[in-house]
Amino acid sequence: MNDLNQVMIIGRLTRDAEMKYTQGGFAIASFSIAVNRKRKSGDQWVDEVSYFDVNLFGKSAENLNQYLIKGKQVGIQGELRQDRWEQDGQNRSKVIIVATNVQLLGGNSGGSTGMAQPSGGGYSQNRSQQSYQQRPSNAQPQQNEYDAGQSYGGDSDFPEEIPF
């Protein structure tokens, strides 16, 4: 049986996203989210909060960075990655979520409709972006990337005979 590394969570950002760029110019947005869970303790329900650090890469990071603000509710799909390092002679590790898809949820925040619009492949990371390497600037767009010249709706896409 194959291994599976997938996670899906919904929570609220605990801080504004922090945008960084690699030396090669590849964008990385880092943020953290709080996820609430209710559990029963005796006769009462108790809220329990878990905090997760999230990294979002590439065009999705650039496009969503301005909307990833403290308090915003988001849905995250991604995979877990364990970072390991040594600090003061002690081995340390931390598990983070590498987001492959981010959905803006909840109410309006700063005029946003909460709807993610396609741009640069949408807000889902394709497999080439998951490898954390920047695609050469002269490369052709991937099949699932948004083509600005193509129509995605509007009156011209529907036959005039439709009775509504």
**Residue 162 pLDDT > 80:** no
List residues bridging with 49 in a β-sheet: 36
Residue 69: CB partners within 8 Å, gap ≥ 6?
A: 13, 16, 17, 109, 110
How far apart are the C-alpha atoms of 143 and 133, rounded to whole Å? 18
Token duo for residue 8: 């899906």
50, 85 Cβ separation under 8 angstroms? no
Q: Could you give the C-alpha distances from 114 to 28, 75, 136, in angstroms and in order?
A: 21, 11, 31
Query: Per mean pLDDT, which range of 12-26, 35-49, 131-145 is the poorest?
Result: 131-145
Task: Pick 84 or 116 by higher pLDDT.
Answer: 84
Query: Rounded to two decimals, what is the model's pTM?
Result: 0.63
Residue 160: band (very low, low, confident or very high) from pLDDT cuts 50, 70, 90: low
For residue 158, the model assigns a pLDDT of 44
Domain ranges of the chain: 7-157
Please compute, for residue 22, the number of CA atoms within 13 A of its CA located in the half-sphere on the CB side.
11
**Record: fold of 7-157:** OB fold (Dihydrolipoamide Acetyltransferase, E2P) (2.40.50)
Distances (CA, A) of 70 to 7, 8, 102, 120, 158: 21, 20, 15, 24, 40
pLDDT tens for each residue of 58-108: 999 999 999 999 999 999 999 999 999 999 999 999 999 999 999 999 764
What would the mean pLDDT of 127-137 be, rounded to a whole number? 42
Token pair 């959905």 is found at 103
In the prediction, which pLDDT does 147 show? Answer: 38
Mean pLDDT of the chain: 76
